[in-house]
Amino acid sequence: MAQATNNCPDVTIVGGGPAGMMAGVLLARAGVPVTVLEKHADFLRDFRGDTVHPSTLQLFHQLGWLEELLELPHSQVDEIGLKIAGRDCKIASFRKLPVAAPFIAMMPQWDLLDFLARKGRECAGFTLRMSTQATGVDTDAQGRIAGVRLASGEVLPSRLVIAADGRRSVLRDAAELPLEVLGAPMDVFWFRLSKPAALGGETFGTMQAGKFLIFIDRRDYFQCAYILRKGDAAAVRERGLDAFREILCGLAPELREVIHELADWDQVKLLDVALDRLTCWHKPGLLAIGDAAHAMSPIGGVGINVAVQDAVAAANILVDALLAGADPDPLLGKVQQSRWRAVTRMQAFQRFAQDRVVEPLLNRTEPIKKPFWPVRLANRFPVLRRIPGRVIGLGLDRVEIEAEAILHPRGRNNPA
């Protein structure tokens, strides 16, 4: 195993989301000097994924951090249910997954990112620069990407740039990486409501013809996602807040006791859903990971976990070369290769669900008389609930931390 030295090449990671923070922490833990740039002053971004899946929890377990992570306020979901046509149906179960934590930890994303930032700061070579916005890349005389340009005018020279700046990545545009847009038929209205006493438990969402509402349990309140047809937001707003509140109460009558809290459209944020991917994630000197390489649909709530798994794959593949001061470029394609199947299969699953379930549901005007047959089967036979539980909970082609330098760091980065 190569040992950390002061001659290690610097890695600059643009974006302090789940992908960027995880990649930064893992590389720094192994002894690679890493700088993570985050354009916001803090991680307090609401209306993002809050689901830490069993596959991600297993990675924390591997690092010996699981118990500490689970000390943070969170709720645990080991079975997902939907209310369809007034009937509670269980559709996915994580209970039998062969992992240390067979449940989804519902935890605000900022808590997860703060946790990773704390872990990063325990490592000698980790630098996190908040309020630092990248605007583009710097190239050397051979055309290799050799650094990051900042909004301040500063240029940060780097041996490797990791673009983890999310689904509107400026770095991937600057590097002219080819984007394939797969499209999504829906958008999401996000808002929060106090948790009515009568609602909760395992029910995660409720659907009727043309309407779909999801609850993310933040313990004392619900982060609510109302799924609507792409482009319909203006029409829903035009019909007025009273009409929108009625739709919500029609979907979940328990909301009547709290619905007055929704007093202004300013409380309702529109997020346009994207599904896309780069067909090539890298260029000499630069690698894209997470949403910057492939924006995931919210279906299955897998985005954070796929992003984290990209980070782990990248760290596994690159760490030894970076520690040895070797050229990382020949390895960048391997990172994409190792993740391509998992990402494209998950996107295919999301597309299938979008096209075959969400879009017909949103276009439907006939009342739903009973849950669809696969849902009825899953509800009836617990063993069948394990299949969606496995796909959602563990993802496809699960990644583990394999690099010795990360698993058993030397010197200051080894807390033992």
Ligand X SMILES: Cc1cc2nc3c(=O)[nH]c(=O)nc-3n(C[C@H](O)[C@H](O)[C@H](O)COP(=O)(O)OP(=O)(O)OC[C@H]3O[C@@H](n4cnc5c(N)ncnc54)[C@H](O)[C@@H]3O)c2cc1C
> In the complex, which residues of this chain contact ligand X (CB under 6 A)?
14-20, 37-40, 48-51, 133-134, 164-166, 170, 188, 271, 290-292, 296, 298, 301-305, 307
Q: What minimum distance in Å lies between the beta carbon of 228 and ligand X?
A: 12
3-state helix, strand, coil in the chain (%, to 5): 40, 25, 35
Q: Decide whether 20 or 31 has the Cβ nearer to ligand X.
A: 20
- Of 191, 195, 215, 194, nearest to 267 by C-alpha is 191
- Of 4 and 26, nearer to ligand X (C-beta) is 26
Distance CA 416, CA 410 (A): 9
Toward ligand X, which CB reaches closer, 84 or 113? 113
Q: Are 18 and 109 in contact (CB under 8 A)?
A: yes
Cβ at position 344, least distance to ligand X in Å: 15
Least Å distance between CB 365 and ligand X? Answer: 25
Q: How far is the CB of 289 from ligand X (least distance, A)?
A: 7
The Cα 382–Cα 386 span in angstroms is: 7
Query: Please, what is the minimum distance in Å from the beta carbon of residue 352 to ligand X?
Result: 18
Q: Which residues lie below 8 Å from residue 351, measured CB to CB, with a gap of 6+?
A: 182, 275, 297
Question: 409 with 30: CB under 8 angstroms?
Answer: yes
For residue 86, count CB atoms less than 10 angstroms from its CB and return exposed for 0-12, middle for 13-18, buried for 19 or more. exposed
CB nearer to ligand X: pick between 10 and 38:
38
Is the CB of 27 or the CB of 323 nearer to ligand X? 27
Residue 221 CB, nearest approach to ligand X (Å): 16
Pick the closer one to ligand X by CB: 2 or 299: 299
The minimum distance between CB 373 and ligand X, in angstroms, equals 26
Q: Which is nearer to ligand X, 4 or 19 (CB)?
A: 19
Closer to ligand X by Cβ: residue 38 or 329? 38
Burial of 277 (0-12, 13-18, 19+ CB in 10 A): buried
Which of 306, 323 has the CB closer to ligand X? 306
Strand-pair category, 160-163 with 34-37: unpaired
The secondary structure of 138-201 as a DSSP string is EE-TTS-EEEEEETTS-EEE-SEEEE---TT-HHHHHTT--EEE---SEEEEEEEEE--TT--T
Residues with Cβ within 8 Å of residue 116, at least 6 apart in sequence = 21, 22, 24, 25
- Residue 376 CA to residue 65 CA, distance in Å, equals 38
Neighbours of 412 (CB within 10 A): 12
The answer to whether residues 402 and 316 touch, using CB atoms and an 8 Å cutoff, is yes
DSSP conformation class of 226? E
Strand pairing report for 75-77 and 104-106: antiparallel
Minimum CB separation of residue 377 from ligand X in Å reads 25
| Between 2 and 339, CB nearer to ligand X | 339
> What are the structure tokens assigned to 80, written together?
């997902």
Shortest distance, position 107 Cβ to ligand X, whole Å:
11
Q: Give the nearest distance from C-beta 364 to ligand X in angstroms.
A: 22
| Rounded Cα distance, 281 and 332, in Å | 8
